[in-house]
């Protein structure tokens, strides 16, 4: 059941139309370099406009890094890339305090900012670094600040972390701790392209001329769109639907389906519901609506909960996919309580 809302007035509808048009322009510009992957591109745009961070999972070579670089070019934002390796240190991410000498040969301390001080940060192969280094991202991702010693430095707005990780079955990976996974609004799984998409990739990447990406939005417009997305109203029954889906991830909850009680150790924190609602608002605007529907909630829930459902020993032994559990929770949750 879609949310029942009166039609917005002309000025609001004009803003909705402009929002929809601008997101389409970004999608088309990114599409010059990225073949297919429509769901991934839309998911990244939704998270960025919701003010969150996104985790991309997929084997190497599927264009995850290219997607982030192309997005930064299409938005005209500062971009930095951090290549995570086992020997990467936290100071390589946030920066360090160093001793410098001025023109009067007087020495003093100066904070040298690391690559985290950017608008779009690509944390490439984040699960190849040790847990100590991974944790250096936590404060930046949640608080939009970095603390070094007794000083706290605010990060620029917009700030968006897009992390890529290899599947955990691959050699040389460290599983991300639950506390860090919870900081990602979405986890998106990048699939291998089909045959027709492979042909297009070959044609674009093996010829002399390559597509050129030009900025279609600026920082001011992006911040305006983020603020507008927060204003989209959500009917009480739609919010209730999202919260009941969240409760369905907890095995101790009486309304949880059988698959949750059998295979789940821990369910999602309230951040899961926050992720669903903020991205559902953006999804509604992209679809040209100024109200959130239960379908928006369902689509957002799949990407917002798959990394927040922690399997128990039986679930891991049986090879149960978190996606399967989330899908069955959605199916078992009626729109009306």
Q: What is the DSSP letter of 126?
A: G
Is the pLDDT at 170 greater than 60? The verdict is no
For residues 73 and 3, the model is more confident at 73
Is the pLDDT at 45 greater than 80? The verdict is yes
Total residue count of the chain as it appears in this document: 337
Query: Quick one: what percent of the chain has pLDDT higher than 90?
Result: 33
- 232-337 classified as CATH 1.10.8.80: yes
Structure-block tokens of residue 292: 């959130």
Euclidean distance between CA atoms 205 and 57, whole angstroms: 22
Is the pLDDT at 59 greater than 90? The verdict is no
Residue 155: how many other CB atoms lie within 10 Å? 19
Mean pLDDT for 278-283 is 94
Q: Please report which confidence band the pLDDT of residue 207 belongs to, taking 50, 70 and 90 as the band edges.
A: low
Predicted pLDDT of residue 296: 94
Is the pLDDT at 259 greater than 50? The verdict is yes
Q: Please answer whether residues 107 and 99 qualify as being in contact, where contact means their C-beta atoms are separated by less than 8 angstroms.
A: yes
Euclidean distance between CA atoms 305 and 245, whole angstroms: 10
Is the pLDDT at 124 greater than 50? The verdict is yes
Q: Tokens 């986890």 correspond to what residue? A: 187
Predicted pLDDT of residue 7: 63
CA–CA distance from 202 to each of 33, 63, 333 (Å)?
12, 13, 44
Most confident of 54-63, 81-90, 134-143, 276-285: 276-285
Mean pLDDT for 169-187 is 76
Q: List, by residue range, all CATH 1.10.8.80 domains of the chain.
A: 232-337
Euclidean distance between CA atoms 64 and 292, whole angstroms: 29
Q: List, by residue range, all CATH 3.40.50.300 domains of the chain.
A: 29-217
Predicted pLDDT of residue 2: 44
Beta bridge partners, 123, equal 82, 163
Q: Tokens 């000025």 correspond to what residue? A: 11
**What's domain 29-217's superfamily in CATH?**
P-loop containing nucleotide triphosphate hydrolases (3.40.50.300)
For residues 205 and 110, the model is more confident at 110
Predicted pLDDT of residue 1: 43
End-to-end CA distance of the chain: 12
Is the pLDDT at 145 greater than 90? The verdict is no
Euclidean distance between CA atoms 216 and 111, whole angstroms: 34
Mean pLDDT for 18-44 is 83
Phi, psi angles (nearest 5°) of residue 100 = -125, 160
Write out the H or E segment, with its range, that includes residue 101: strand 95-101
| Helix, coil or strand: residue 46 | helix
């Amino acid at each position: 059941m879609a949310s029942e809302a009166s039609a917005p007035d002309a000025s609001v509808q004009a803003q909705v139309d402009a929002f929809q048009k601008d997101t389409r322009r970004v999608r088309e510009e990114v599409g010059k370099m990225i073949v297919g992957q429509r769901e991934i591109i839309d998911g990244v745009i939704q998270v960025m406009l919701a003010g969150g961070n996104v985790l991309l999972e997929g084997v190497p070579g599927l264009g995850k890094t290219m997607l982030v670089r192309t997005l930064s070019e299409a938005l005209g934002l500062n971009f930095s890339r951090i290549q995570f390796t086992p020997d990467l240190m936290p100071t390589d991410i946030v920066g360090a305090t160093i001793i410098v000498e001025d023109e009067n040969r007087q020495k003093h301390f100066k904070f040298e900012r690391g690559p985290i001080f950017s608008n779009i940060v690509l944390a490439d192969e984040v699960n190849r670094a040790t847990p100590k280094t991974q944790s250096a991202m936590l404060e930046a991702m949640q608080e939009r600040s970095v603390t070094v010693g007794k000083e706290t430095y605010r990060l620029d707005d917009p700030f968006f972390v897009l992390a890529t990780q290899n599947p955990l079955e691959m050699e040389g990976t460290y599983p991300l701790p639950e506390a860090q996974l919870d900081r990602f609004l979405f986890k998106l799984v990048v699939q291998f392209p089909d045959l027709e998409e492979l042909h297009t990739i070959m044609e674009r990447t093996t010829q002399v001329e390559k597509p050129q990406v030009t900025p279609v939005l600026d920082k001011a417009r992006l911040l305006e769109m983020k603020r507008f997305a927060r204003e989209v109203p959500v009917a009480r029954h739609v919010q209730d639907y999202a919260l009941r889906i969240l409760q369905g991830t907890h095995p101790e909850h009486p309304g949880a389906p059988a698959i949750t009680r059998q295979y789940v150790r821990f369910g999602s924190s309230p951040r899961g519901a926050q992720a669903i609602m903020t991205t559902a608002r953006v999804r509604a605007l992209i679809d040209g609506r100024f109200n959130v529907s239960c379908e928006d909630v369902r689509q957002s829930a799949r990407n917002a909960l798959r990394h927040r459902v922690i399997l128990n020993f039986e679930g891991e032994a049986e090879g149960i996919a978190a996606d399967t559990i989330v899908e069955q929770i959605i199916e078992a949750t009626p729109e009306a309580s």
